[in-house]
C-alpha cells in the first residue's frame, strides 16, 4: 500500500515537529494562507505579532536564550522584507534561526506579480544560507538542511522561500533522520598540536588576558571556560555578546572591554603580552584603532569560523574549532601539568580595578539610570533574563547588571538594532515560562516596536519593560555633546513622547512610573511581582552620559571619563 500524499503546507508543519519546534512567531498573508490553515489545525503554538520585524526578533530571543533554532514566518513581498532587519540582526550575532517566507506562484516569479519581492536576492548578504523551494518533493529535505545549517558550525539564520504552489501541491512526506551536505563540513575539533602550542604560550606568558565572546555561549562552553580560568588563573574579559560566559563578580573577571568597557579591562589588554581570544571577532567596538590595540600581545585565536581568524588582528596561533571542544582538550592537558598563577600580573590587575572602578553621580532628587540597574540586581538576585534595546541604556545594562549566567543577557551587538529588545524579550519569555524576563529600554528604542504591547497583552506574556526615559535619543546626543559642539540635531524628544503609562494601559498592560529615586525600589518591586506584562516609565537624569568612552577610531587606553580624560 503506497503512502498517502500530503500538501506542502502540511509537510512544512510535520517537518517542524520533527525538528522539535513547538513555538513560532509570525504574521499571515495571501501567499501563506494554506500554511496558516494548517497551523489552525496544528498543536504548534503560533504567536501573532503586530509587525513581522518583531517576529524575527522574537525568534532570535527564543534562540539565544535556549540554544534552539528560533522560527518565524511571514508572507511574500512586504511581509518578507519586514523580516530583513531581524534576520540581519541574527546574522551579525550568529543566532540560529529559520525564517519561512511566502512567495508568489513559481510560474509568476519575475513578473512583478502582486506582493512579489526577490527575498532570496535581498537576504543573500544577511543569511548564512537561503533556499527557494521549487518543487514540493524537495520541501522536507530542504527544511532538514535549513535547520542543520542554522544550528551547526557558526550558527546563523537560514531563509526558506515558499512559492504558494509548493504549499498547495502534494508529495509523500519523508523526513530524513540525518543529513550530509558534502560542501558544508564545519571543523569542530581543534588541532591537538596547536592546542599544545597554545598551552606552552600560556605557560611562558607573564601578562596574559582571555577575551571571551559570544562563541563561548553559542557553543555552550561556559562551564569549560570557568574550568579553564580556574586552571590557568588568568584575567578574563567578556565582550557584549559574551556577557554571562564568565561571572562578572569573580576575582578574575575584567568585565567588558572596548568603547564602553571598564577602564581596567582596556588597560589590562593594552599591557598584556598574550591574548587568548575565544569565540570573538575583534570588532571595532572592542579594538578601537587597530594598529594601537594590544601592542605588546601575541594573539591566540580560537574560533569555529576560519574566516574570522586574522580578519582584523594578526594571529600568531590560530585554532579552528568549537569553543567547547577546544577548551575541553585544553583543560585535559592543563590537569596533567598545572600552571602557576602569574601573581605579579594579578597584583597589577587588582590595582587597576581599585584605581579605575565604574562610578556615577547619585542625586537624591534625580534618578540615575545606573542606580535603577543596581536595584534590579538586588531585587532579582541575578535570577532574571535581560534583553536590551540599543543606546545608552544598553551600555549601562552591560556595565551595571551583574552578569553571572550564560544566555541571560540578550542584546543586538553587531547590527545595533533599535527596537530589538521588546520583541526579543517576548521570545525569551515564551521559551522560558515562569522565569523573570526584563527588557531594559530607552524611550527612543521602545517606540520602534511599541505595537507589540498588543501581543504581550493578548497572550499575557509577562515581560517587564523598564524604560530609562531621558527624553533623548541618548547615545546620539552624547556623541553630539562630545564631538559636535553640542549641536543637538534631531535628538531631543522632550515634548514629543507619549505618556508611556497611558499607552500601556490602552493596550491592557500595567503601566507604572517613577520620577524620584525614593520611588524606584517600590515601583520595580510592584512590576516584578505583577503576573503579567508591565511598562515602567522611569524618568532618569536627562543628560547622563555613558562612561568610560573610547572615541571612535581611538586607542582603547585613551578614554573619556566622567571627569575628563582617563
pLDDT band at 565 (very low <50, low <70, confident <90, very high): confident
Output the pLDDT for position 1.
55
Element (H, E) at 302: strand 298-303
pLDDT tens column, 506-553? 999 999 999 999 999 999 999 999 999 999 999 999 999 999 999 999
pLDDT band at 359 (very low <50, low <70, confident <90, very high): very high
Element (H, E) at 373: helix 369-380
Output the pLDDT for position 409.
98
Could you give the CA distance from residue 435 to residue 117 in angstroms, rounded to a whole number?
39
Q: SS3 letters for 46-101?
A: EEECCCHHHHHHHHHHHHHHHCCCEEEEECCCHHHHHCHHHHHHHHHCCCCEEEEE
pLDDT tens column, 300-314? 999 999 999 999 999
The residue to which cell 579594538 is assigned: 287
DSSP 3-state of 140: helix
Pairing verdict, β 564-565 and 560-561:
antiparallel
Could you give the CA distance from residue 116 to residue 168 in angstroms, rounded to a whole number?
18
Output the pLDDT for position 340.
92
Q: Is residue 566 scored above 90 in pLDDT?
A: no
Element (H, E) at 161: strand 157-163
pLDDT tens column, 118-147? 999 999 999 999 999 999 999 999 999 999
**Torsions phi, psi of 472, nearest 5?**
-135, 160
**Torsions phi, psi of 96, nearest 5?**
-75, 120
Q: Is residue 467 scored above 60 in pLDDT?
A: yes
Could you give the CA distance from residue 19 to residue 6 in angstroms, rounded to a whole number?
18
Could you give the CA distance from residue 378 to residue 272 in angstroms, rounded to a whole number?
34
DSSP 3-state of 401: coil
Output the pLDDT for position 562.
78
Looking at the DSSP bridge assignments, the partners of residue 467 are 441, 537
| DSSP state at residue 472 | B
Q: Is residue 101 scored above 90 in pLDDT?
A: yes
pLDDT band at 481 (very low <50, low <70, confident <90, very high): very high
Could you give the CA distance from residue 226 to residue 41 in angstroms, rounded to a whole number?
46
Output the pLDDT for position 462.
98
Could you give the CA distance from residue 91 to residue 10 in angstroms, rounded to a whole number?
28
Sign of the dihedral through C-alpha 66, 67, 68, 70:
positive
pLDDT tens column, 250-286? 999 999 999 999 999 999 999 999 999 999 999 999 9
pLDDT tens column, 15-44? 999 999 999 999 999 999 999 999 999 999
Pairing verdict, β 236-238 and 208-212:
parallel
Strand ranges inside 191-287, DSSP E = 208-212, 236-238, 253-255, 274-278
Quote the cell numbers at residue 342. Answer: 602569574
Q: What average pLDDT score do residues 475-487 get? A: 97
Output the pLDDT for position 2.
65
Residue 36 sits at the vertex; the CA angle it makes with 9 and 433, to the nearest 5 degrees, is 110
Output the pLDDT for position 563.
77
171-196 burial, b if ≥16 CB within 10 A, otherwise e?
A: bebeeeeeeeeeeeeeebebbeebbe
Q: How many residues does the chain have?
A: 566
Output the pLDDT for position 6.
97
Considering the chain, what is the average pLDDT of its residues?
Answer: 97
Could you give the CA distance from residue 63 to residue 71 in angstroms, rounded to a whole number?
9
Amino acid at each position: 500500500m503506497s503512502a498517502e500524499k500530503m500538501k506542502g503546507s502540511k509537510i512544512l508543519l510535520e517537518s517542524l515537529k520533527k525538528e522539535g519546534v513547538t513555538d513560532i512567531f509570525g504574521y499571515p498573508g495571501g501567499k501563506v494562507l494554506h500554511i496558516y490553515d494548517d497551523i489552525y489545525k496544528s498543536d504548534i503554538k503560533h504567536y501573532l505579532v503586530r509587525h513581522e520585524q518583531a517576529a524575527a526578533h522574537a525568534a532570535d530571543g527564543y534562540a539565544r536564550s535556549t540554544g534552539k533554532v528560533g522560527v518565524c514566518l511571514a508572507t511574500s513581498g512586504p511581509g518578507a522584507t519586514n523580516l530583513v532587519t531581524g534576520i540581519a540582526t541574527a546574522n551579525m550575532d550568529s543566532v540560529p534561526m529559520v525564517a519561512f517566507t511566502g512567495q508568489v506562484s513559481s510560474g509568476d516569479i519575475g513578473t512583478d506579480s502582486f506582493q512579489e519581492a526577490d527575498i532570496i536576492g535581498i537576504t543573500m548578504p544577511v543569511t548564512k544560507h537561503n533556499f527557494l523551494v521549487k518543487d514540493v518533493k524537495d520541501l522536507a529535505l530542504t527544511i532538514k538542511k535549513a535547520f542543520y545549517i542554522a544550528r551547526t558550525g557558526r550558527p546563523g539564520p537560514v531563509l526558506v522561500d515558499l512559492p504558494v504552489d509548493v504549499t498547495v501541491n502534494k508529495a509523500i512526506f519523508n523526513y530524513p533522520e540525518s543529513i550530509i551536505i558534502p560542501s558544508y563540513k564545519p571543523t569542530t575539533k581543534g588541532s591537538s598540536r596547536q592546542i599544545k602550542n597554545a598551552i606552552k604560550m600560556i605557560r611562558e606568558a607573564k601578562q596574559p588576558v582571555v577575551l571571551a565572546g559570544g562563541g563561548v555561549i553559542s557553543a555552550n562552553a561556559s562551564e569549560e571556560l570557568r574550568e579553564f580560568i580556574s586552571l590557568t588563573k588568568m584575567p578574563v574579559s567578556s565582550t557584549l555578546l559574551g556577557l554571562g560566559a564568565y561571572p562578572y563578580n569573580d576575582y578574575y573577571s575584567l568585565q567588558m572591554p572596548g568603547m564602553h568597557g571598564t577602564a581596567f579591562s582596556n588597560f589590562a589588554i593594552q599591557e598584556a603580552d598574550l591574548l587568548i581570544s575565544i569565540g570573538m571577532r575583534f570588532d571595532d567596538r572592542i579594538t578601537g584603532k587597530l594598529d594601537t590595540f594590544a601592542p605588546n600581545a601575541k594573539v591566540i585565536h580560537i574560533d569555529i569560523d576560519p574566516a574570522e581568524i586574522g580578519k582584523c588582528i594578526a594571529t600568531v596561533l590560530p585554532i579552528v574549532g568549537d569553543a567547547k571542544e577546544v577548551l575541553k582538550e585544553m583543560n585535559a592537558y592543563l590537569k596533567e601539568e598545572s600552571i602557576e598563577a602569574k601573581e605579579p600580573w594579578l597584583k597589577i590587575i587588582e590595582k587597576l580595578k581599585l584605581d579605575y572602578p565604574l562610578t556615577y553621580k547619585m542625586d537624591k532628587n534625580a534618578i540615575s539610570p545606573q542606580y535603577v540597574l543596581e536595584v534590579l540586581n538586588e531585587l532579582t538576585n541575578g535570577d532574571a533574563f535581560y534583553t536590551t534595546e540599543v543606546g545608552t541604556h544598553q551600555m549601562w545594562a552591560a556595565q551595571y547588571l551583574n552578569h553571572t549566567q550564560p544566555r541571560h543577557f540578550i542584546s543586538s551587538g553587531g547590527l545595533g538594532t533599535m527596537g530589538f529588545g521588546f520583541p526579543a524579550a517576548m521570545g525569551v519569555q515564551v521559551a522560558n515560562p515562569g522565569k523573570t524576563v526584563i527588557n531594559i529600554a530607552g524611550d527612543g528604542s521602545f517606540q520602534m516596536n511599541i505595537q507589540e504591547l498588543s501581543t504581550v497583552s493578548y497572550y499575557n506574556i509577562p515581560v517587564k519593560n523598564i524604560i530609562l526615559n531621558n527624553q533623548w535619543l541618548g547615545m546620539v546626543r552624547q556623541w553630539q555633546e562630545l564631538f559636535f559642539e553640542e549641536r543637538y540635531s534631531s535628538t531631543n524628544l522632550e515634548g514629543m513622547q507619549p505618556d508611556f503609562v497611558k499607552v500601556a494601559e490602552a493596550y491592557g498592560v500595567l503601566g507604572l512610573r517613577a520620577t524620584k529615586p525614593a520611588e524606584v525600589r517600590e515601583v520595580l518591586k510592584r512590576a516584578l511581582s505583577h503576573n503579567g506584562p508591565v511598562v515602567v516609565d522611569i524618568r532618569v537624569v536627562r543628560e547622563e552620559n555613558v562612561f568610560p568612552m573610547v572615541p571612535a577610531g581611538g586607542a582603547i587606553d585613551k578614554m573619556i571619563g566622567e571627569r575628563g580624560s582617563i
